């Protein structure tokens, strides 16, 4: 029998039935009062998740679109930018900034590690004339399964006036992020991760300091122009036709998130991280990221020697319809990535761990069936107490 797929990617993530049903509604006028009500309500909702009372715009685009929006609105050609990268998505942010004319200085950390706040502090302290206009930072790097300590990095930056621009596409509502409290100037996110939604909407939050940068900005922009976006938001509209069905879904997803509680959602993801890591280790496997920086959104597992990661992924899909992500670039066939963010239930993870044990056993790996599952069950008991 072929049943429903287990989608354990670091995005897109499973969509709950409530959200799917909510999207299944007739179209309405995107310039009428019903849409206005939805737009105002979801914008407020996403702002709560951001922890901000600053401005926020929603784009009909993927997360990368909002990354581009952050660059073309807040960086001008020639601006010096410090791009901190711990993987593929950090590299992408740097690449976008370069494409639009910024003078990008890359600060790379080894894949599988988090950015070191001390090194960022040192670099910014050297910049006595404040040439660096912006710091680009990844909140949660899905290519490696590592989270940056955004709070510590921001604190380490002290009173350096550079704009802090954070790509929180996969991390928001999974790893803590308090935009206003921590003084983050620009935060980018998207719908297909912890928001439990299909892909297609992206979010851009920005404070007054960022607005000042926008007012002096010399980059070309039209679709991403926040000035036009804010002007229409005042009227309860988007400048260009919004993806209406996804707004219906977002409205329902936010309801579910507030029912669960934002603190509880962070806790749940953190529990998943600990549970999956403990089970993986019990199976004798290694994780790419160290405990201190491992992401609550996904776990990168190093495949056992002699069995490639892609073979495991292939067997998981063929035997159990479980979809895992592979490694990117140099990590291809070295790791597989098990996403546990968004609408993933505890027992979904038990199923996946059981499937993984079975597949490893079949592939000739020496494992005691049930050992990892048992470890995970022990966590379930803790989590329920």
- Chain positions contacting its own copies, by CB under 8 A: 4-5, 7, 9, 11-15, 20-21, 23-24, 26-32, 60-65, 68, 95-96, 99-101, 190, 192, 198-200, 219-223, 239-246, 323, 325
Residue 253: CB minimum distance to its own copies, A: 13
Nearer Cβ to its own copies (10/117):
10
Contacts of 108 (CB under 8 A, 6+ apart): 85, 86, 90
Residue 383: CB minimum distance to its own copies, A: 26
Residue 116: CB minimum distance to its own copies, A: 28
Nearer Cβ to its own copies (29/286):
29
Nearer Cβ to its own copies (1/27):
27
Residue 16: CB minimum distance to its own copies, A: 10
Nearer Cβ to its own copies (147/202):
202
Nearer Cβ to its own copies (43/245):
245
Q: Which two tokens stand for residue 338?
A: 């098990």
Nearer Cβ to its own copies (45/63):
63
Residue 250: CB minimum distance to its own copies, A: 12
Residue 330: CB minimum distance to its own copies, A: 18
Three-state secondary structure string covering the chain: CCCCCEECCCCCCCCCHHHHHHHCCCCCCCCCHHHHHHHHHHHHHHHHHHCCCCEEEEEECCHHHHHHHHHHHHCCCCCEEEEEECCHHHHHHHHHHHHCCCEEEEEECCCCCCCCHHHHHHHHHHCCCCCEEEEEEECEECCCCEECCHHHHHHHCCCCCCEEEEECCCCECCECCCHHHHCCCEEEEECCCCCCCCCCEEEEEECHHHHHHHHCCCCCCCCCCHHHHHHHHHCCCCCCCCCHHHHHHHHHHHHHHHHHCHHHHHHHHHHHHHHHHHHHHHCCCEECCCHHHECCCEEEEECCCCCCHHHHHHHHHHHHCEECEECCHHHCCCEEEEECCCCCCHHHHHHHHHHHHHHHHHCCCCCCCCHHHHHHHHHHHHHHC
Nearer Cβ to its own copies (5/212):
5
Residue 234: CB minimum distance to its own copies, A: 18
Residue 283: CB minimum distance to its own copies, A: 24
Can you tell me the distance from the alpha carbon of 23 to that of 197, in angstroms, rounded to the nearest whole number?
10
Nearer Cβ to its own copies (35/365):
35
């Amino acid at each position: 029998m072929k049943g429903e797929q287990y989608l354990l990617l670091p995005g897109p993530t499973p969509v709950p039935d409530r959200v799917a049903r909510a999207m299944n509604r007739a179209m309405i006028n995107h310039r009428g009062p019903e849409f206005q009500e939805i737009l105002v309500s979801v914008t407020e909702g996403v702002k709560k998740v951001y922890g901000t009372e600053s401005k926020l715009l929603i784009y009909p685009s993927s997360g990368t679109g909002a990354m581009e929006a952050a660059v073309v609105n807040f960086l001008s050609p020639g601006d010096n930018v410090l791009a901190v990268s711990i993987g593929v998505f950090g590299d992408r942010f740097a690449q976008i900034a370069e494409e639009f004319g910024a003078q990008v200085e890359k600060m790379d950390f080894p894949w599988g590690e988090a950015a070191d706040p001390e090194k960022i502090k040192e670099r910014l302290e050297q910049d006595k004339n404040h040439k660096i206009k912006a710091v680009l930072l990844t909140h949660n790097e899905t290519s490696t399964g590592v989270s940056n300590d955004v709070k510590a990095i921001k604190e380490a930056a002290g009173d350096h006036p550079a704009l802090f621009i954070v790509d929180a596409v996969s991390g928001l509502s999974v790893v803590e992020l308090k935009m206003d409290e921590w003084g983050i100037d620009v935060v980018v996110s998207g719908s297909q991760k912890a928001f439990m939604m299909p892909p297609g909407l992206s979010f851009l939050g920005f404070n007054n300091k960022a607005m000042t940068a926008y007012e002096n900005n010399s980059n070309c922009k039209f679709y991403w122009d926040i000035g036009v976006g804010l002007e229409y938001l005042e009227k309860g509209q988007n400048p260009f036709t919004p993806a209406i069905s996804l707004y219906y879904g977002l409205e329902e997803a936010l309801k579910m998130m507030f029912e669960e509680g934002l603190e509880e959602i962070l806790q749940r993801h953190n529990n998943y991280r600990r549970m999956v890591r403990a089970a993986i280790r019990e199976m004798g496997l290694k994780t790419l990221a160290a405990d201190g920086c491992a992401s609550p959104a996904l776990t990168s597992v190093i495949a056992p020697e002699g069995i490639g990661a892609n073979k495991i992924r292939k067997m998981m899909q063929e035997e159990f319809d479980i979809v895992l992500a592979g490694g990117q670039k140099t990590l291809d066939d070295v790791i597989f990535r098990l996403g546990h963010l968004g609408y993933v239930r505890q027992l979904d993870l038990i199923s996946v761990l059981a499937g993984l044990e079975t597949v490893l056993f079949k592939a000739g790996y020496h494992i005691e069936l049930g050992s990892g599952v048992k470890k995970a069950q022990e966590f379930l008991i803790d989590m329920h107490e």
